[in-house]
Chains A and B, each alone.
Chain A
Amino acid sequence: DGGITQSPKYLFRKEGQNVTLSCEQNLNHDAMYWYRQDPGQGLRLIYYSQIVNDFQKGDIAEGYSVSREKKESFPLTVTSAQKNPTAFYLCASSTSGMSSYNSPLHFGNGTRLTVT
């Protein structure tokens, strides 16, 4: 079955450590996105990539970094510079460019990151 796999489901880190969240898709989608979800707020875009080897900052990119070396993979690194990293992180993909236009977003099941 095609889909998006995020791993791990839960991640615990000490403050000051960098951590990388995995996102893999086998939908053959060109565009991939990383969102952050906090209680009581709408999803906020961290980074997006419309094509391999290219990515752009979203609304809250500070303290995060990404790479897109393969079409299937879009890992997100949460660096020690991110002031409040504890959150639920969602990866998504779509067939077309920015924000899906007319093609719905497909989401992974998320990674809950807790930093203490």
Chain B
Amino acid sequence: KQEVTQIPAALSVPEGENLVLNCSFTDSAIYNLQWFRQDPGKGLTSLLLIQSSQREQTSGRLNASLDKSSGRSTLYIAASQPGDSATYLCAVVMDSNYQLIWGAGTKLIIKP
């Protein structure tokens, strides 16, 4: 059974720092991996989608990498800003049934 883990559950860093959020999964038979952002009390916004054949995707200050063989993905945020404060969730789409399996998220706080 696929399990998606995001550690740490919470992270606080000063403004301006580059940071990395982690996502690990136990079953490498994935179709793609997706990163989302959730602001408090709101829905989720899609940030990046990486196909299983890809190694990384970039959007602005965000860069997501995927290492399928080791079951890991990272979300790199450059030059962090207070507006980046949110919960970041990763999810994998399974190859077998296209089911989406979610991590519990990392709550990120950027201190001004």
Contact B103 A107 (CB under 8 A): no
* A99-B99 CB under 8 A given contacts A42-B89, A42-B104, A104-B34: yes
Residue total for B at the interface (Cβ-Cβ under 8 A): 27
B78 at the interface (CB under 8 A from A): no
Apart from the given pairs A45-B99, A102-B51, A104-B34, 14 other A-B contacts in the complex at a CB distance below 8 Å: A42-B4, A42-B103, A42-B105, A43-B89, A45-B100, A92-B43, A92-B44, A100-B93, A100-B100, A105-B46, A108-B43, A109-B41, A110-B42, A112-B41
CB distance from B98 to the nearest CB of A (A): 5
Instruction: Name B's interface SS.
Output: strand
Among A41, A42, A101, residue most surrounded by chain B Cβ atoms (within 10 Å):
A42
Q: Which 3 residue pairs are nearest across A and B when measured between Cβ atoms?
A: A42-B102, A107-B43, A104-B46
